[in-house]
Chains A and B, each alone.
Chain A
Amino acid sequence: MSLLAVEHLSIALPPGGDRAHAVEDVSFTLEPGRVLCLVGESGSGKSVSAGAIMGLLPQALRPQSGTIRFEGEDLLAATPARLRSLRGARIGMVFQEPMTVLNPLMRIGDQIGEMLLAHRWAARALGPVKARIAALLEAVHLPDPGRIARAYPHALSGGQRQRVMIAMAMALEPSLLIADEPTTALDVTTQMQILRLLADLQRRRGTAVLFITHDFGVVAEIADDVAVMRHGRIVEQGTARQVLAAPAHPYTQSLIAAALHEGAPRIAAAADAAELLGVERLCKTYARAGIFTRTRARRALDSVSLSLRRGETYGLVGESGSGKSTLARSIVRLVQPEAGAIRLAGVDLRPLGRAAWKPFRKRVQMVFQDPFASLNPRMRVGEAIAAGPIAHGMARAAALARAADLLALVQLDPAAAQRFPHEFSGGQRQRIGIARALALEPELLIADEPVSALDVSVQAQILALLEDLRVRLGLTMLFITHDLRIAAQICDRVAVMRNGAIVEEGVTAQVFSHPAHAYTAALLDSVPGRNWRQGGAHG
């Protein structure tokens, strides 16, 4: 008997949505001790499926038909009290966003203890509560469990909180653990730690895991079985080995291709091209100073230097908080560094005031990370693109005509100029953002995590577009990303940042194949699916 058997599950969406069902005729099984990855992009119905198993769907969503059998018992027919007694005790769950899943007003120990108390019958065999809490925290490799138990969530980092969540989910040794994108919000190194922890616990305890993810790299890392979902349906399922090696469905193929980031081989820019942008010993400290309040300074940029040659794509990689975005924003004067120099074609921009900077605006443009936040929701797309040229003196009519051309350039319908941003998908919006940046015909394009907010399949398209435009328009590009796979795909040279400083810099292939710095090595080691990737890349 399968531990979990979902059969012909359909869950209706409230009327008025873009489709009738969140989940439609979904069936899969999970055997004891195995890891099933439910893979799909946003809106594919994977999280709704998990919610249905836990009985934690929003009120608007109700299962319409099908069954969910857990250890032989139909969960859809179970009473709320019965479900409650199963949740936590027999089925544990780990969520995506570690920063918000813990009650900020309750000590860690109490939050775990509360669960043990709620399932007293299940916890009784496991010994005294306090000792059990310490043991659990120890098991997820949290240092000084006693102190952690007394701490409040805000004192813990995201990775630590996710460990607490895992400890909590595993507290009563459930037979099923549902992990809903548990590593998506984490930095790569932390992500890998959590994945390893999960894998380790799973192996030792024999827990079955339903792992929800959008990343085939993660699948390669952890899955025994895979089910790929799209638009509420399962399009392909099988063992991980089988699906990764020979994806049958085109959608699965595209997802895997996107995860591998296989693109055209890089044609390295001439090494002797002239320098376009030079950054020298740039320093930026964020400080909150007050007369009485303690000054808490944070060095965001610690004497950073780099040099971009004309025509190259320069990658800046690092985890969140490493200072890469601060560097990008410093170059376009959204942030004002207190020391160092930023030379564009030999002119130091740092000391320039707002007005003196204006001519350089045309030469340096930026594409932003979040396509939903980077467009003014109350401004027509055409206006948004034309606003820049108009500000630099172009006639309005000409600017609007040019906006239409640019939309065509980024492969959108020129009629889009008349519409508002909310009428577009994330990928389309990012194209608009690129069109806006190109409207001023810049020499240097700074792309700050331009694809990290997009679904993997869309990421590939945007990256391809950027690469195409770069070549066609002869742009120089500073590309910022946390994703080493993307950097490897499109950058001529990369710099690895950590704690506001560049720890290593060089030609991409060189850096990635023979990292000189331990941190670079750790980063590379943390790329999910790296073994599978290497395998895939070589054959």
Chain B
Amino acid sequence: MSSSPDLAANVPAPSASLQAGLARSLLGLALRGAARLAKMLAVLLAIAIVNFLLIHLAPGDPATVLAGQSGAADPQFIAQLRHSFGLDRPLLVQLWLYLRHIAMLDLGTSYTQDRPVLGLILDRLPATLLLTGAAFAFALIAGIALGALAARRAGKATDTAVTILALAFYATPIFWVGLMLVLVFSVWLGWLPSFGMETVGAGYRGLDHWLDVGRYLILPALTLGLFYMAVYARLTRAAMVEVAGQDFIRTARAKGLTEGRILRRHILRNALLPVVTFAGIQAGQLIGGSVLVEAVFAWPGIGQLAFNALLARDYPVLLGVFLCTAAMVVVFNLATDLLYRLIDPRMAP
């Protein structure tokens, strides 16, 4: 050896890049954070503008609706309502006012409920977060477990069974699953409550309260989660099969590792990365799905709030819910991105 040992050292050592990287990494992280934040704000601004314009394109305005609901109306009454909502001002002015208020977290006041929109949303948000969070956790855990099972037994009966199950839930309308679950577990078997979020008037406290909520949570969370479970199961299976075919798995075998360790330490870890990333991005869509589920199960979340607001033409509420869900998606994406950077060393600054 050693006819040219210096050449080996010539190749840039990781130490150099690591050292230099460390110094720059803080700056880099800060810059990237700022970039992310700016992008996030730009997206939110765009969403606010688009939603505002979209909803103002709608025929009919809230004053007419309110007037209609009061049982009788005269033009003076409608004009008065329009004025008090600022609907008689130019659209651009309304938009500008709206954006200015948003900047101060003032999402306006609900036409029909006479309360600040932010308050309405914050009232409902925990319910939606609980539902989507539970559904997401269930979907992710069950999906990954099923996917891993299928991948491990690829080509066998278990694989086929899991694949069929996943396809079935993937192909079934979410609301229909909800209806069928209610039919079976509430109507026929009477095991679980079919609607609402808690036993009202029962006055449960502490643990009892959460157990109570848990019982109410099972069906809606299942309904929302089953579809995504199917998605994650399919993804996990595909990712694992793909990773299993990669060179470093052959390396692991050549090292004499047991199959179990190869599965856990090499295949699963690498396969889960894309699955979790995708799931994080998908989490935003869960909020959309929750509209249907909240409608079927009378779950008092923001999905229901949005749908009712839409039917009643309650613009500020609708805009608020949109902005809020979009913000949640953006935040979720950001969190996923950061998580991804944490887990995947290749993305480290």
Residue numbers of A with Cβ under 8 A of B are: 54, 56, 84-89, 92-93, 95, 97, 100-106, 114-115, 118-119, 141-144, 147-148, 151-152, 154-157, 159-160, 163, 165, 168-169, 189-190, 193, 196-197, 199-201, 290-294, 522, 525
Identify which of B3, B254, B345, B346 contacts A93 (C-beta below 8 A). Answer: B254
CB distance from A242 to the nearest CB of B (A): 26
Find chain A residues with CB under 8 A from B344 CB: 104-105
Complex Cα spacing A155 to B17, Å: 8
- Whether, in the assembled complex, B209 has its beta carbon less than 8 Å from a beta carbon of chain A, the answer is no
Find chain B residues with CB under 8 A from A197 CB: 1
Q: Which chain A residue has the least Cβ–Cβ distance from B19?
A: A147
B256 touches A103 (CB 8 A): no
Chain B 1-39 near chain A by CB (<8 Å), digits 1 or 0: 111110111011111011000001000100110110010
Complex Cα spacing A115 to B257, Å: 7
Find chain A residues with CB under 8 A from B114 CB: none
- Whether, in the assembled complex, B83 has its beta carbon less than 8 Å from a beta carbon of chain A, the answer is no
CB distance from B264 to the nearest CB of A (A): 11
19 further A-B contacts with Cβ under 8 Å, apart from A141-B1, A141-B5, are: A54-B253, A56-B253, A56-B254, A88-B254, A88-B257, A95-B251, A100-B246, A101-B247, A104-B345, A105-B269, A115-B257, A152-B345, A152-B346, A163-B8, A190-B11, A197-B1, A291-B38, A293-B32, A522-B4
In chain B, positions 33-92 with a C-beta closer than 8 Å to chain A are 34-35, 38
A119 touches B12 (CB 8 A): no
A292 touches B35 (CB 8 A): yes
B265 touches A104 (CB 8 A): no
Complex Cα spacing A95 to B247, Å: 9
Identify which of B14, B15, B256, B348 contacts A89 (C-beta below 8 A). Answer: B256
Q: Which chain A residue has the least Cβ–Cβ distance from B267?
A: A103
Find chain A residues with CB under 8 A from B2 CB: 200
CB distance from B223 to the nearest CB of A (A): 34
- Whether, in the assembled complex, B252 has its beta carbon less than 8 Å from a beta carbon of chain A, the answer is yes
CB distance from A302 to the nearest CB of B (A): 18
Complex Cα spacing A97 to B246, Å: 11
Chain B 151-188 near chain A by CB (<8 Å), digits 1 or 0: 00000000000000000000000000000000000000
CB distance from B341 to the nearest CB of A (A): 13
A97 touches B247 (CB 8 A): yes
B5 touches A87 (CB 8 A): no
Find chain B residues with CB under 8 A from A143 CB: 8-9, 13, 15
Identify which of B7, B13, B250, B345 contacts A105 (C-beta below 8 A). Answer: B345
Chain B 249-277 near chain A by CB (<8 Å), digits 1 or 0: 01111111110010001100110010000
B346 touches A154 (CB 8 A): yes
Identify which of B12, B24, B254, B265 contacts A87 (C-beta below 8 A). Answer: B254
B15 touches A118 (CB 8 A): no
Complex Cα spacing A383 to B92, Å: 57
- Whether, in the assembled complex, B210 has its beta carbon less than 8 Å from a beta carbon of chain A, the answer is no
Residue numbers of B with Cβ under 8 A of A are: 1-5, 7-9, 11-15, 17-18, 24, 28, 31-32, 34-35, 38, 246-248, 250-258, 261, 265-266, 269-270, 273, 343-346, 348
Q: Given A102-B248, A103-B248, A155-B18, answer yes or no on A141-B256 (Cβ-Cβ < 8 Å).
A: no
Complex Cα spacing A92 to B255, Å: 7
CB distance from A72 to the nearest CB of B (A): 19
CB distance from B201 to the nearest CB of A (A): 52
Q: Given A103-B270, A143-B9, answer yes or no on A155-B248 (Cβ-Cβ < 8 Å).
A: no
- Mind listing 28 A-B residue pairs with CB under 8 Å? A56-B254, A87-B254, A93-B254, A95-B250, A95-B254, A101-B247, A101-B250, A103-B251, A104-B345, A105-B273, A106-B266, A114-B257, A114-B265, A115-B256, A118-B261, A141-B5, A141-B9, A147-B15, A151-B18, A152-B346, A155-B18, A160-B14, A163-B8, A165-B251, A199-B1, A291-B35, A291-B38, A292-B38
Q: Given A151-B18, A157-B12, A294-B31, answer yes or no on A101-B251 (Cβ-Cβ < 8 Å).
A: yes
B14 touches A147 (CB 8 A): yes
Complex Cα spacing A115 to B24, Å: 34
A118 touches B35 (CB 8 A): no
Q: Which chain B residue has the least Cβ–Cβ distance from A293?
A: B35
Complex Cα spacing A293 to B39, Å: 12
B273 touches A86 (CB 8 A): no
Complex Cα spacing A294 to B349, Å: 11
Most buried by B among A84, A89, A92: A84
Most buried by B among A54, A141, A148, A201: A141
Find chain B residues with CB under 8 A from A193 CB: 4, 7-8
Find chain B residues with CB under 8 A from A54 CB: 253-254
CB distance from B346 to the nearest CB of A (A): 4
CB distance from B38 to the nearest CB of A (A): 7
Complex Cα spacing A31 to B154, Å: 40
B255 touches A114 (CB 8 A): yes
Most buried by A among B255, B258, B265, B348: B255
B270 touches A104 (CB 8 A): yes
Find chain A residues with CB under 8 A from B254 CB: 54, 56, 87-88, 92-93, 95, 169
B32 touches A88 (CB 8 A): no
Most buried by B among A88, A89, A190, A200: A88
B247 touches A100 (CB 8 A): yes
Q: Which chain B residue has the least Cβ–Cβ distance from A147?
A: B15
Q: Given A88-B254, A106-B265, A114-B257, answer yes or no on A141-B32 (Cβ-Cβ < 8 Å).
A: no
Find chain B residues with CB under 8 A from A114 CB: 255, 257, 261, 265
B345 touches A154 (CB 8 A): yes
Most buried by B among A100, A143, A156: A143
Find chain A residues with CB under 8 A from B348 CB: 152
Complex Cα spacing A522 to B3, Å: 11
Find chain B residues with CB under 8 A from A118 CB: 255-258, 261
Q: Which chain B residue has the least Cβ–Cβ distance from A88?
A: B256
Find chain A residues with CB under 8 A from B13 CB: 143-144, 147-148, 160
B256 touches A87 (CB 8 A): yes
Q: Which chain A residue has the least Cβ–Cβ distance from B27?
A: A294
B8 touches A56 (CB 8 A): no
Find chain A residues with CB under 8 A from B270 CB: 103-105
Find chain B residues with CB under 8 A from A106 CB: 265-266, 269
CB distance from A154 to the nearest CB of B (A): 4
Complex Cα spacing A141 to B4, Å: 11
Complex Cα spacing A472 to B32, Å: 58
Find chain B residues with CB under 8 A from A290 CB: 35
Complex Cα spacing A151 to B35, Å: 27
CB distance from A105 to the nearest CB of B (A): 5
Complex Cα spacing A119 to B257, Å: 8
Q: Which chain B residue has the least Cβ–Cβ distance from A196?
A: B1
Q: Which chain B residue has the least Cβ–Cβ distance from A100?
A: B247
A87 touches B255 (CB 8 A): yes
Find chain B residues with CB under 8 A from A168 CB: 251, 255
Complex Cα spacing A152 to B348, Å: 10
Complex Cα spacing A202 to B346, Å: 33
Identify which of A85, A201, A292 contacts B256 (C-beta below 8 A). Answer: A85
Identify which of B3, B24, B252 contacts A196 (C-beta below 8 A). Answer: B3
B253 touches A87 (CB 8 A): yes
Q: Which chain B residue has the least Cβ–Cβ distance from A107?
A: B345
A141 touches B265 (CB 8 A): no
